[in-house]
Amino acid sequence: MFSQRFEQLVQALRVLPSVGPKSAQRMALHLVMKNRQGAVGLAHALSEAANYIHACQICHSLTENDICDICASPTRDDTLICVVESPADVLAIEQSGSFGGKYHVLGGHLSPLDGIGPEEIGIPAFIERLKDHHIKEVILATNATVEGQATAHYLLEACKHFPVQMTRIAQGVPQGGELEYVDSHTLSQAFHNRMQFK
């Protein structure tokens, strides 16, 4: 190919999700041929992010400080904790503007076949948080996958002896969705989680 450094760049870009050899090659060519200034900026931003962004000591989301802005905020309801799988889920919920509590990021979901148990995804840290008795409700917002459901059920069982209300986000037909295009599992969830029409 062009050079060893070019190949190193292509291989480095392949660490990104869903980026195969051809996509990585196109990105590398674009950066070195058409946008060298952007390439330098990207390298700097990646270096800064890798060096300074880490897990919040309380919720395990991403932050540059010891404690993230959400955990440190006095205006957030600290009696209400939303449990999610990843920081991307925190971003999605925050963009909806529909939640005013705090979070706990597990860092994944249970997957015994892959050797991922409670210890690997930080469930013990969450249980420790529940020992602070001011928490009144835990909202389980794990993904609507088999693993996400299994994780939610595990948490429900693990938290039974705490005096907290455990709820699960509703699942089913998306807003604006047409029934003929909705898969059978989603429809089943929609019927199971139906509510009174007011």
All domains in the chain, ordered by first residue: 4-52 (1.10.8.420), 73-168 (3.40.1360.10)
- By residue count, the chain amounts to 198
Helix, strand, coil in percent for the chain, rounding step 5: 45, 15, 40
pLDDT value of residue 12: 93
Integer Cα distance of 51 and 63 in angstroms: 11
Residues 194, 118: Cα–Cα separation, whole Å: 31
**Largest separation between any pair of C-alpha atoms in the chain:** 67
Give me the percent of the chain exceeding a pLDDT of 90: 61
* Residue scoring higher pLDDT (172 or 90): 90
Higher pLDDT, residue 132 or 3 = 3
Mean per-residue pLDDT over the chain, rounded: 89
Pairing of strands 62-63, 54-55: antiparallel
